[in-house]
């Protein structure tokens, strides 16, 4: 299957990857802005324009970089590691087309561990200045990450067992070929588990509140408290890219229709538009979920993630029973 | 084979040099000889791994009655090569370590002897030879544990635990092997292998269970792991590295050699038990590693975790082989062996790094470290490589082998047996949970130990360690990166070792290449290309940042919520970092807290002093080993009453025994 798609040359697939990268670099912040807008409207406010995160990025780039007194080189390297690991993950995942560059290596486990690389870099950066808040954020983020990881990997396994491979383009193509899979019990269980993980990994309510201004309740924001200027911009961009990637991944794993199966200009364009529509829908849904729930206490979050894990295990079991 | 014998000779020469030469040249002479031994053993093993040819050696003169028989096949060669690299690094490191540490004659002579026995165990080809070198390994390592007993009382305690566990294990192995040998009618491995299918199922299962107990106690799998978090921290650092990176592997070697090799695979439930042990060890080890604040104890528990992962792979391979999936079995075994080799590289590097930290600061308590990246930049870099590798981050080697393990488990679901499927699912779940916990544990080790502000004057005034110690660490950090970027280069050798271990031949599970490319199913990673893409993205991001952001960086005080003074005492410590995880997993870890608040005499609203204690003890030790120890002590007191030195009583014992024998015989 993959070899047939792989007949197209290297150039077009690299171009497709770059299209995906640009789409996520611009689209990720827009999704964040959209979710803030939906929230504001639901609460009866006008809210900032959707493109506000992009404007913020431009503002941050022009500012001065400030490093904490006791920080080392780790603090300034981490944002680059975060952004580049996210960029590689975006470039090789089938988002707009099923044949981006390096698609043979676009393994689900590779994507999971690339995202983990970014999280580890940020946690180390949180500990680097040697402050109480940074350590608090890093500790909480790693705890939640450690609990989200099993749910994520087992949900991924459920999809892989069904498709008999963990190669992403192959899973997406197989779903296109077997539309009934999308409604199978293992897919539905895995979908719920993955949504829980996505909420945890992107730091949304009920796991973390992205707009909190109280240090003691922060998770992600506490970890990046020492960042300023362009480096803060890179961190926010990296986080927005990860959000965009995870939304797009959920969309394509469970509802891949519309994705380009070649690297031709027209299908890629269609794929781009469809991807935009799908991720917008997910952003809407999660924003509404955020408005309607309260943030969980930190020590209630493990229960939510354990629920995700159990659902993921159920997904695998369902897959094994029904085959 | 002759080259391996040269290596063993050099090892013995190193021991003699350590024992007999003067204090000035002792350390260097022993290190040079043992490095030579490692190089010779590595070359000998490498040749076997490349050619796949087995060579043997027999000498009747060396050991009375049975003689010594050695055999170097690809499986043994893989373990010997791994040990040789760790041994070379430890020897090199030992030179600098002894400069500022204890340079006792015993330690200098025992280390090469321990190393030689580690190189010999996989080559042993008969029960007698195996048990002799196994005991040599146990005794030399116990002595090495005691080297620093004058400085630390814990070392004595650790040596007692280790000595007891290792001898119970050795007794179980001896019983199991003797049982198999007596029923097979010969004590060489070749004879046992030949007659294995004529043994009754009961004898085979009993023999396997006995050796499984013995070998898992050496490997440090739960519930026989209790010696490991005591012994590995108390041993001198080169010895900790050898124990954690090489000695525990021999437990795995024994399971593969006896279970798959001598007994030809056995029955399904054996391997499900092995997977079960692996799952429990992986989870228990990872949880304790995440909760520990003692650097070496953390590393020791993470060894329990990794041994668990390797056991999951070995068990899956055994189960799939029994059910007839040869290709998948080879894939799983290959993945397990790859994980083992990688674990040797990063755990060796990390233990040597922990030793460097201990030498530079005098402590291994993470709560007293911090800021070492500025004082020991090279140690920090090398330790960092080890920490990122063990957290399985691409493009380091831990990622390559964990990916392969996951693929082995994933495609193992092709087997439709329900029991196997449950075991594999448990394996994946354990792998997933330990992945996140290991990342948390090593972010803690690296972030609390090496980043931030120094928490004590000892950490603030530490200086970089000797170049020979750095060279030892670098020797193990290099494979972490190399095996991660081009894992495909070692796959043919791993495959030969896996096939020898399983005793099957199968079509190649992986296609040739620099990356890992599964042959029968879809699944590929090309770490070289991933690394290239990562570097390209890094360069691109950096260039963008340079172009758009024109203003330089400035240093300022960290945000303290408006507080004026921010000291190192306000930093997060390792204990506080681990607290959320400890609280979430309180049911397994059973932490022991104690909070005492003393109020000012005038008012209860003001506190004078607060003392907080937090201890995480091993649940197995408390619930299983303590009662057993009490039982043994009771029995010992009883035995002492019976043995009061009175000749009359002993004569009475003899008479009663004689009567009992007559009654039984009649």
Give the mean pLDDT of A58-73: 89
Give the mean pLDDT of B265-288: 94
How far A117 CA lies from chain B's nearest CA (Å)? Answer: 6
What angle do helix axes A265-292 and A185-201 make, rounded to 10 degrees? 70
Are A150 and B440 in contact (CB < 8 Å)?
no
Query: Does residue B45 carry a pLDDT above 50?
Result: yes
Give the mean pLDDT of B585-602: 86
What is the separation of C-alpha B251 from the centre of its chain, rounded to a whole number of angstroms? 10
Give the pLDDT band (50/70/90) at residue A8.
very low
Give the pLDDT band (50/70/90) at residue B337.
very high
Of B582, B425, B416, B408, which is closest to residue B495 (Cα–Cα)? B408
Give the mean pLDDT of B121-142: 94
Q: Give the CA distances from residue B319 to residues A319, B312, B409, B625, in Å, rounded to whole numbers and listed in that order.
A: 21, 10, 11, 31
Q: Find the CB nearest B436 among A92, A145, A226.
A: A145
Give the pLDDT band (50/70/90) at residue A9.
low
Are A130 and B371 in contact (CB < 8 Å)?
yes
Of B273, B257, B135, B266, which is closest to residue B213 (Cα–Cα)? B273
A153 touching chain B per CB within 8 A: yes
Res A5: pLDDT: 39
Decide: B564 and A253 in contact? Cβ < 8 Å. Answer: no
> Chain B neighbours among A 65-84 (CB < 8 Å)?
65-74, 76, 80-81, 83-84
Question: What is the ipTM metric for this complex?
Answer: 0.94
Are B557 and A226 in contact (CB < 8 Å)?
no
Give chain B's domain count.
Answer: 1
How far B546 CA lies from chain A's nearest CA (Å)? Answer: 10
Angle (CA) A85-A86-A87 rounded to 5° is: 90
Q: Find the CB nearest A127 among B432, B447, B584.
A: B447
Q: Are strands B516-517 and B524-525 parallel, antiparallel or unpaired?
A: antiparallel
Residue to test with chain B: of A14, A138, A142, A169, most B Cβ within 10 A: A142
Are B388 and A313 in contact (CB < 8 Å)?
no
Q: Find the CB nearest B533 among A83, A88, A153.
A: A88
Query: Does residue B68 carry a pLDDT above 60?
Result: yes
- Both tokens assigned to B214: 């013995």
DSSP code at position B258: I
Average pLDDT, chain B: 91
What is the tens place of the pLDDT at every residue in B517-526? Answer: 888 788 889 9
- Both tokens assigned to A141: 């983020």
How far A203 CA lies from chain B's nearest CA (Å)? Answer: 17
Res B278: pLDDT: 97
A140 touching chain B per CB within 8 A: yes
Query: Does residue A3 carry a pLDDT above 50?
Result: no
Residue found by looking up tokens 């790094």 in the block: B353
Give the pLDDT band (50/70/90) at residue B551.
low
Average the pLDDT over each of A78-87, A206-215, B312-321, B329-338 and give the range with the smallest value: A206-215
| A225 interaction partners in chain B (CB closer than 8 Å) | 559
Average the pLDDT over each of A196-200, A209-213, B456-460, B617-621 and give the range with the smallest value: A209-213
Q: How many CB atoms lie within 10 A of CB B450?
A: 31
What is the tens place of the pLDDT at every residue in A68-121? Answer: 888 899 999 999 999 999 999 999 999 999 988 888 888 999 999 999 999 999
Instruction: Let me know if A255 is exposed, middle or buried by CB neighbors in 10 A (0-12, 13-18, 19+).
Output: middle
Give the mean pLDDT of B627-653: 89
Res B347: pLDDT: 96
How much of chain B, in percent, has pLDDT values that exceed 70?
99
Q: Find the CB nearest A130 among B391, B534, B568.
A: B568
The most confident of the ranges A101-105, B91-95, B306-310, B417-421 is B306-310
Res A7: pLDDT: 42
Q: Find the CB nearest B451 among A61, A128, A140.
A: A128
Quote the CA–CA distance of B79 and B253 in Å, as a whole number: 8
What is the model's pTM?
Answer: 0.94
Are A164 and B568 in contact (CB < 8 Å)?
no
Query: Does residue B106 carry a pLDDT above 90?
Result: no
Quote the CA–CA distance of B448 and B59 in Å, as a whole number: 54
Query: Does residue B527 carry a pLDDT above 80?
Result: yes
Are A143 and B440 in contact (CB < 8 Å)?
yes
| Domain-located, residue B617 | yes
Query: Does residue B572 carry a pLDDT above 50?
Result: yes
Quote the CA–CA distance of B295 and B529 in Å, as a whole number: 34
| Domain-located, residue B596 | yes
- Both tokens assigned to B652: 């009475």
First to last CA, chain B: 54
Domain that holds residue B635: 592-666
Res A105: pLDDT: 86
- Both tokens assigned to A89: 């993950």
- Both tokens assigned to B478: 């290099």
Res B550: pLDDT: 67
Closest residue on chain A to B411 (Cα): A164
What is the tens place of the pLDDT at every residue in B122-132? Answer: 999 999 999 99
DSSP code at position A167: B
Are A139 and B578 in contact (CB < 8 Å)?
yes
Give the mean pLDDT of B3-10: 89
A24 touching chain B per CB within 8 A: no
Quote the CA–CA distance of A1 and B391 in Å, as a whole number: 33
The most confident of the ranges B79-83, B149-153, B194-198, B576-580 is B79-83
Average the pLDDT over each of A151-165, B224-238, B480-494, B598-612 and give the range with the smallest value: B598-612
Res B485: pLDDT: 95
Q: How many helices (H) and strands (E) does chain B have?
A: 27, 7
Q: Are strands B516-517 and A65-68 parallel, antiparallel or unpaired?
A: unpaired
Q: Give the CA distances from residue B567 to residues A218, B369, B555, in Å, rounded to whole numbers and listed in that order.
A: 22, 14, 17
Give the mean pLDDT of A226-251: 94
Give the mean pLDDT of B358-373: 92
Query: Does residue A1 carry a pLDDT above 60?
Result: no
What is the separation of C-alpha A34 from the centre of its chain, rounded to a whole number of angstroms? 16
- Both tokens assigned to A104: 């043979």
Give the mean pLDDT of B500-528: 87
A227 touching chain B per CB within 8 A: no
- Tabulate helix, strand, coil % of chain A (nearest 5): 75, 0, 25
Quote the CA–CA distance of B123 and B121 in Å, as a whole number: 5
Query: Does residue B60 carry a pLDDT above 50?
Result: yes
| Domain-located, residue B264 | no
Q: How many CB atoms lie within 10 A of CB A58?
A: 10
Quote the CA–CA distance of A46 and B622 in Å, as a whole number: 61
How much of chain A, in percent, has pLDDT values that exceed 90?
63
Give the mean pLDDT of B213-239: 92
Query: Does residue B565 carry a pLDDT above 80?
Result: no
Residue B344: strand, helix, or coil: helix
Residue to test with chain A: of B419, B524, B546, B569, most A Cβ within 10 A: B524
A234 touching chain B per CB within 8 A: yes
How far A276 CA lies from chain B's nearest CA (Å)? Answer: 24
A107 touching chain B per CB within 8 A: yes
Res A210: pLDDT: 81
H-type alpha helices, B127-200: 127-145, 153-184, 189-195
Closest residue on chain A to B546 (Cα): A230
| A166 interaction partners in chain B (CB closer than 8 Å) | 406-407, 410, 523
Q: Which helix or strand (DSSP H or E) is residue B594 part of? A: strand B592-599
Give the mean pLDDT of B268-274: 95
A116 touching chain B per CB within 8 A: yes
Decide: B128 and B187 in contact? Cβ < 8 Å. Answer: yes
Res B103: pLDDT: 66
Are A131 and B570 in contact (CB < 8 Å)?
yes
Quote the CA–CA distance of B586 and B150 in Å, as a whole number: 36
Angular region, B525: left φ>0, alpha ψ -120 to 50, beta rest: beta
How far B468 CA lies from chain A's nearest CA (Å)? Answer: 26
Quote the CA–CA distance of B9 and B31 in Å, as a whole number: 14
Decide: A185 and A20 in contact? Cβ < 8 Å. Answer: no
Are B373 and A72 in contact (CB < 8 Å)?
yes
Decide: A105 and B530 in contact? Cβ < 8 Å. Answer: yes
Which residues have a Cβ under 8 Å from the Cβ of B31 and sit 6 or more positions away?
A: B14, B91, B92, B94, B95
How much of chain A, in percent, has pLDDT values that exceed 70?
97
For chain A, how big is the Rg over CA atoms in Å?
19
Torsion angle (degrees, nearest 10) of CA B6, B10, B15, B21 = 140
Give the mean pLDDT of B394-402: 93
């Amino acid at each position: 299957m993959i070899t047939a798609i792989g007949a197209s040359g290297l150039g077009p697939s690299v171009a497709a990857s770059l299209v995906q990268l640009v789409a996520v670099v611009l689209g990720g912040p827009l999704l964040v802005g959209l979710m803030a807008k939906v929230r504001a409207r639901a609460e009866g406010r006008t809210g900032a324009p959707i493109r506000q995160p992009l404007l913020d990025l431009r503002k941050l780039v022009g500012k001065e970089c400030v490093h904490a007194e006791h920080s080392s080189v780790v603090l300034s390297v981490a944002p680059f590691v975060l952004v580049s690991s996210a960029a590689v993950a975006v470039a090789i995942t089938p988002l707009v087309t099923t044949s981006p560059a390096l698609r043979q290596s676009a393994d689900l486990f590779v994507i999971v561990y690339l995202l983990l690389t970014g999280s580890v870099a940020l946690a180390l950066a949180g500990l680097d200045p040697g402050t109480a808040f940074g350590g608090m954020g890093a500790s909480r983020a790693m705890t939640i990450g450690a609990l989200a990881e099993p749910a994520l990997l087992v949900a991924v396994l459920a999809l892989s067992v069904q498709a008999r491979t963990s190669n992403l383009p192959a899973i997406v193509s197989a779903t296109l070929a077997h539309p009934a899979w999308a409604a199978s019990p293992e897919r539905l269980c895995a979908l719920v588990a993955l949504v829980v993980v996505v909420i945890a990994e992107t730091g949304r309510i009920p796991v973390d509140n992205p707009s909190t201004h109280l240090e003691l309740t922060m998770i992600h924001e506490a970890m990046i408290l020492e960042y300023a200027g362009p480096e803060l911009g890179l961190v926010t961009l990296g986080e927005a890219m990860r959000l965009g990637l995870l939304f797009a991944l959920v969309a394509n794993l469970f509802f891949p229709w519309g994705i380009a199966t070649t690297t031709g200009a027209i299908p890629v364009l269609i794929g781009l538009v469809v991807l935009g529509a799908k991720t917008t829908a997910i952003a809407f849904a999660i924003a509404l979920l955020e408005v309607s729930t309260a943030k969980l206490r930190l020590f209630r979050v493990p229960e939510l993630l354990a629920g995700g894990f159990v659902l993921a295990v159920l997904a695998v079991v369902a897959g094994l029973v029904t085959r | 084979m002759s080259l391996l014998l040269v290596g063993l000779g050099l090892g013995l020469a190193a021991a003699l040099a350590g024992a007999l030469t003067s204090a000035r040249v002792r350390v260097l002479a022993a290190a040079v000889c043992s490095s030579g031994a490692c190089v010779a053993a590595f070359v000998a093993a490498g040749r076997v791994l490349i050619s796949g040819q087995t060579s043997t050696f027999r000498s009747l003169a060396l050991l009375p009655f049975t003689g010594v028989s050695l055999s170097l096949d690809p499986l043994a060669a893989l373990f010997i090569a791994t040990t040789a690299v760790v041994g070379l690094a430890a020897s090199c490191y030992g030179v600098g370590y002894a400069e500022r540490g204890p340079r006792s004659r015993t330690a200098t002579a025992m280390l090469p002897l321990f190393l030689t026995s580690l190189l010999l165990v996989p080559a042993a080809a008969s029960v007698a030879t195996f048990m002799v070198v196994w005991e040599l390994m146990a005794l030399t390592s116990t002595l090495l544990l005691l080297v620093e007993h004058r400085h630390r009382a814990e070392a004595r305690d650790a040596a007692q635990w280790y000595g007891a566990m290792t001898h119970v294990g050795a007794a179980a192995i001896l019983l199991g092997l003797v049982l198999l040998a007596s029923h097979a009618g010969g004590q060489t491995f070749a004879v046992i292998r030949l007659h294995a299918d004529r043994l009754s199922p009961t004898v085979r299962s009993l023999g396997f269970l006995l050796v499984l107990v013995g070998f898992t106690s050496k490997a440090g799998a739960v519930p026989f792991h209790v010696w490991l978090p005591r012994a590995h921290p108390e041993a001198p650092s080169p010895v900790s590295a050898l124990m954690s990176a090489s000695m525990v592997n021999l437990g795995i070697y024994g399971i593969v050699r006896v279970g798959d090799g001598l007994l030809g695979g056995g029955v399904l439930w054996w391997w499900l038990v092995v997977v079960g042990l692996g799952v429990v060890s992986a989870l228990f080890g990872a949880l304790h590693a995440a909760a520990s604040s003692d650097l070496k104890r953390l590393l020791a528990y993470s060894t329990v975790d990794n041994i668990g992962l390797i056991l999951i792979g070995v068990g899956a391979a055994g189960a799939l082989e029994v059910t007839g999936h040869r290709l998948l079995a080879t894939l799983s075994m290959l993945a397990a062996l790859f994980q083992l080799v990688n674990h040797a590289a990063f755990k060796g590097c990390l233990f040597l790094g922990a030793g460097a930290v201990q030498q530079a600061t005098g402590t291994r308590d993470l709560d007293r470290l911090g800021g070492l990246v500025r004082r020991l930049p090279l140690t920090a870099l090398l330790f960092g490589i080890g920490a990122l590798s063990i957290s399985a981050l691409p493009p380091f080697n831990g990622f390559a082998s964990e990916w392969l393990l996951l693929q082995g488990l994933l495609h193992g679901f092709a087997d439709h047996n329900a029991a196997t499927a449950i075991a594999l699912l448990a394996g994946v779940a354990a792998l997933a949970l330990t992945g996140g916990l290991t990342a948390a544990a090593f972010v803690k080790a690296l972030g609390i130990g090496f980043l931030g502000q120094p928490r004590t004057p000892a950490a603030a005034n530490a200086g970089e360690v000797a170049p020979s110690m750095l060279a030892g660490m670098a020797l193990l950090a290099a494979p972490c990166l190399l095996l991660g970027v081009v894992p495909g280069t070692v796959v043919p050798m791993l495959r030969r070792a896996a096939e020898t271990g399983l005793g099957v031949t199968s079509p190649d599970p992986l296609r040739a290449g620099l990356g890992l490319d599964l042959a029968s199913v879809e699944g590929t990673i090309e770490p070289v290309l991933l690394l290239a893409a990562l570097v390209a993205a890094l360069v691109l991001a950096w260039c963008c940042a340079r172009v758009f952001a024109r203003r330089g960086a400035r240093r300022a005080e960290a945000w303290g919520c408006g507080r004026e003074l921010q000291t190192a005492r306000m930093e997060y410590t390792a204990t506080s970092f681990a607290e959320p995880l400890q609280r979430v997993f309180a049911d397994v870890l059973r932490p022991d807290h104690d909070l005492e608040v003393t109020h000012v005499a005038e008012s209860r609203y003001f506190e004078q002093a607060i003392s907080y204690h937090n201890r995480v003890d091993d649940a197995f030790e408390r619930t299983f080993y303590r009662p057993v120890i009490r039982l043994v002590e009771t029995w010992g007191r009883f035995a002492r009453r019976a043995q009061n030195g009175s000749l009359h009583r002993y004569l009475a014992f003899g008479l009663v025994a004689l009567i009992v024998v007559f009654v039984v015989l009649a």
